[in-house]
Amino acid sequence: MKMDAIAADPLLAVTDLTVYRGQAKILDRVSLSLARGETLALVGESGAGKSTIATALMRLLDGAEVEGQADLSGAGDLLALPEAQMVRLRGRRMSMIFQDAGAALNPAYTVGRQLISVLRRTMGLDRAAARARAVDLFTQVGINDAEARLSAFPHQLSGGMQQRVMVAIALAGNPDLLLADEPTSALDVTIQAQIVRLILSLTRDRGASCIFVLHDLALASQACDRIVVLYAGQVVESGPAHDVLTRNRHPYTRQLQGCVLEIGRKDLLAPEGNVPSHDQMPEGCRFATRCPRALPHCATEPPPLAAADPARTGPLDHAFACWNPE
Amino acid sequence: MMKDMSAMTDPRQPPAPTRAPVFELIEVEKVFQIRRPGAGLRRDTVGLRALDGVRLRVEQGASLALVGESGSGKSTLLRVLLGLDAPTGGRALYHGRPIREVRAEGPRFARDVAMVYQDARGSLDPRMTIGALIAEPLRHFGIVPAGQVAGRVAELLARVGLPADAAQRYPAGLSGGQVRRVAIARALASEPSVLVADEAVSGLDVSTQAQLLTLLRGLQRDMGLTLVFITHDLGVASYLCEEIAIMYLGRIVETGPTDAVLAAPAHPYAAALRAAAPRFFEPLPEPLPGEIPSPLDLPPGCRFSGRCPMVQPDCQTRDPQLGRHGEGRAVACLHPLGAA
Ligand SMILES: Nc1ncnc2c1ncn2[C@@H]1O[C@H](COP(=O)(O)OP(=O)(O)OP(=O)(O)O)[C@@H](O)[C@H]1O
Ligand SMILES: Nc1ncnc2c1ncn2[C@@H]1O[C@H](COP(=O)(O)OP(=O)(O)OP(=O)(O)O)[C@@H](O)[C@H]1O
Ligand code: SF4
Ligand code: SF4
Ligand SMILES: [Mg+2]
Ligand SMILES: [Mg+2]
């Protein structure tokens, strides 16, 4: 796909998304763009705010104050739309696969009933048609015995099967923006590959876009066009997958890459230190407390996200935020 | 605590008869009764064989990775090891005695054998603070005097890479990965000799994962902690665990030293897993052909035969059993790879 053509017509443009929980700034001016038909990987420190971004876009965030803008093409600013309109968008134009499948499914209802009710609501199907479609979707996500499993309660399914049920529910309404929060962390690698292929064929191949939250950088390189790296609520590096993985400039991205465990590797060196708590977060670069390349002013002056190549400064191009890049 | 790996890796040297392995499963079977498909409102049930003749030995100080198909029975196997589920057939032993019996005797077993659950969030009481959750096993098992509990909690939080202020928060206030770290801190609190962990590091970024894995590897190698570790990540299995067991539909289909098995898998399913592991910038692997058979309706003969690229006519009639396959290895296949 031609990058400049899509840059002109993004499906989603998030600008300066900031989320507070009490005093804590959970997200700090996060900006990202998503082109039509594009797949984006959101990677980064556990607790960095990846799920918060996805949940904020769905407008399902509780107990938080949200600032900024998130324009979904044809719908307007997701952060400002009236709730009634969001209700119509959810499931139809955008849907989310939640990280904790076990917690996202209702333990009191069978998984079939949960899927069928989404199908009836988003697709306007009658009961029989919804049931037939449900069997279809279960089979597509690799659940054998689809008929029988429709009447299972969530606790009767293995963790991986619950995850696949969530995938089926999220894809039920053919959304054009899918937010998939670690959809395959609980699956074995053969089914993971199958599910990722399935998600891509049901989204990218029909021009829909997808944001994958994931931790496996190798999988990100296989499945995603671009990567956004997040640390402690800030975007530290973003760009085409190849640039971010092979020509990364931010010390945190470099650190992540150094921790990838390929089969047979035994010489892992764990990085030092932890993310500071929110009341001790540096004003400037939030990685400054752990960064091997920190300069004296890093902790006080926030580094701006700047293009890696001054000739390519579009929102989809390679950029990083660091005063002393690798 | 002493390491005793020799008995596991060297088949010529029989295990010392005086020392039973930490865990021993002998032909363990676990059948769940579930509603019969298409039974409508009738209350017909049918048995789902989640574990079907599982044999496994875990020696003191061993580190075993359990990998395999989603739904193949890994979590069920762990629940049997912990005495939470009684096997419906076969025997499950802890130091030579039935696990359920040892467990019923008192808190000793629960202290020695710690668990990290797959559903970390579901395993934590949402009304308790993180500090109270970690203090609970410290108090319950009397690990440190009351005056030192707070200090130990802080130490455990730091060990798993959580900020000190996490102690005042509730599970709902933590991200998925942070909750997982709380579960690990809680499991380590009782100073167990065995750690049984279900996807303990999945869902963590690789740098946090690296911190926890080096911690666990250190405990295993230096303190003799026995590890049974379910993971889908073959890189994690190969870093942390000296041995591996690969499961498919209720059975162990291949076991042996992790490096040897991953370098040259003998079972075609193990080979498919190995081939599906993510690789930088390679195209996503083609899925295995065929449908995953239902555990309610297993094919005759080998249960992998419907999807196996190496299938031969006899595979559809003979059910392969786990049998010896070279140095410290075993495989359940009639035509193992690399056997020429
Ligand atoms: N309900 C809440 N109350 C207070 N803080 C919260 C709440 N939910 C999340 N947080 C905090 O917000 C931050 C971002 O959380 P989020 O779940 O978005 O992280 P994440 O990047 O998805 O992490 P993970 O990879 O572990 O899932 C974390 O530091 C977390 O502790
Ligand atoms: N309480 C239960 N009632 C009925 N069936 C169950 C129950 N618990 C598990 N099962 C079934 O037993 C089989 C094995 O499940 P188990 O949770 O052990 O798989 P697993 O290997 O841990 O899978 P995953 O990798 O997806 O977590 C599955 O078919 C599952 O649906
Ligand atoms: S801005 Fe400074 S502290 Fe931050 S990553 Fe760059 S060098 Fe390190
Ligand atoms: S026994 Fe036959 S079908 Fe089964 S795994 Fe071996 S070769 Fe494949
Ligand atoms: Mg998350
Ligand atoms: Mg499981």
What's the mean per-residue pLDDT of chain A? 90
**Distance in Å, CA A279 to ligand 1 centroid:** 15
pLDDT of the residue at A141: 83
Nearest CA in chain A to B71: A158
Nearest CA in chain B to A192: B276
Does the CB atom of residue A271 touch ligand 2 within 6 A?
Answer: no
In angstroms, rounded to a whole number, what is the distance separating the alpha carbons of residues B240 and A170?
35
Tell which B residues from 139 to 168 touch A, by Cβ distance under 8 Å.
158, 161-166
Is B88 an interface residue toward A (CB < 8 Å)? no
Given an 8 Å threshold on Cβ–Cβ distance, is B273 in contact with A277? no
- pLDDT tens-place string over residues A44-69: 988 899 999 999 999 999 999 999 99
Query: Which domains are seen in chain B, by residue range?
Result: 23-288+302-331 (3.40.50.300)
Residue A154 identity (one-letter amino acid): P
Question: Given the CA of residue B305, which atom of ligand 4 is nearest to it?
Answer: 3
Q: Which ligand is nearest to the CA of A228?
A: 1
pLDDT of the residue at A274: 76
In angstroms, rounded to a whole number, what is the distance separating the alpha carbons of residues A66 and A79?
8
Domain boundaries, chain A: 3-93+177-320, 103-174
**What is the distance, to the nearest Å, from the Cα of residue A120 to the centroid of all Cα atoms in its chain?**
26
Token pair in block for residue A257: 């890459």
In angstroms, rounded to a whole number, what is the distance separating the alpha carbons of residues A264 and B113?
28
**Distance in Å, CA A182 to ligand 6 centroid:** 16
Q: Which of B163, B232, B291 sits opposite A275 (nearest CB)?
A: B163
pLDDT of the residue at B36: 66
pLDDT in tens, chain A (326 residues): 444 444 556 899 999 999 999 989 999 999 999 999 999 999 998 889 999 999 999 999 999 999 999 999 999 999 999 999 999 999 899 999 987 777 788 989 999 999 999 999 888 899 999 999 999 999 888 887 888 889 999 888 877 788 889 989 998 988 999 999 988 887 889 888 988 988 898 788 778 999 999 999 999 999 999 999 999 999 999 999 999 999 999 999 999 999 999 999 999 888 887 788 788 889 999 999 999 999 999 999 999 999 999 999 888 999 999 999 99
Tell which A residues from 235 to 264 touch B, by Cβ distance under 8 Å.
242, 245, 255-256, 259-264
Predicted ipTM?
A: 0.88
The number of CA neighbours under 13 Å toward the Cβ of B271 is: 15
pLDDT of the residue at B41: 59
* Domain A3-93+177-320 bears CATH identifier 3.40.50.300: yes
pLDDT in tens, chain B (340 residues): 344 444 444 444 444 445 789 999 999 999 998 876 555 556 678 888 999 999 999 999 999 999 998 889 999 999 999 999 999 999 999 999 999 999 999 889 999 999 998 788 888 999 999 999 999 999 999 999 999 999 999 999 988 888 888 999 999 888 877 888 899 999 999 999 999 999 888 888 998 899 889 988 988 988 889 999 999 999 999 999 999 999 999 999 999 999 999 999 999 999 999 999 999 999 999 888 776 777 777 888 999 999 999 999 999 999 999 999 988 999 999 999 986 5
Give the gap in angstroms from C-alpha A100 to the nearest C-alpha of chain B. 8
Nearest to residue B305, comparing CAs of B256, B248, B250, B265? B248
Residue A27 identity (one-letter amino acid): L
pLDDT of the residue at B249: 93
Sign, CA torsion B162/B165/B167/B171: negative
What residues have CB less than 8 Å from B215, skipping those under 6 apart? A270, B159, B160
Tell which A residues from 156 to 195 touch B, by Cβ distance under 8 Å.
156-161, 163, 182, 185-194
Ligand 1 mutation pick, A18, A45, A52, max ligand atoms within 8 A of CB: A52
pLDDT of the residue at A2: 42
pLDDT of the residue at B2: 40
* Number of Cβ atoms within 10 Å of the Cβ of A307: 14
Cβ–Cβ < 8 Å for B208, B31:
no
Cβ–Cβ < 8 Å for A307, A238:
no
What residues have CB less than 8 Å from B25, skipping those under 6 apart? B54, B55, B56, B57, B77, B80, B81, B90, B91, B92, B93
Token pair in block for residue A190: 């053969």
In angstroms, rounded to a whole number, what is the distance separating the alpha carbons of residues A236 and B205?
15
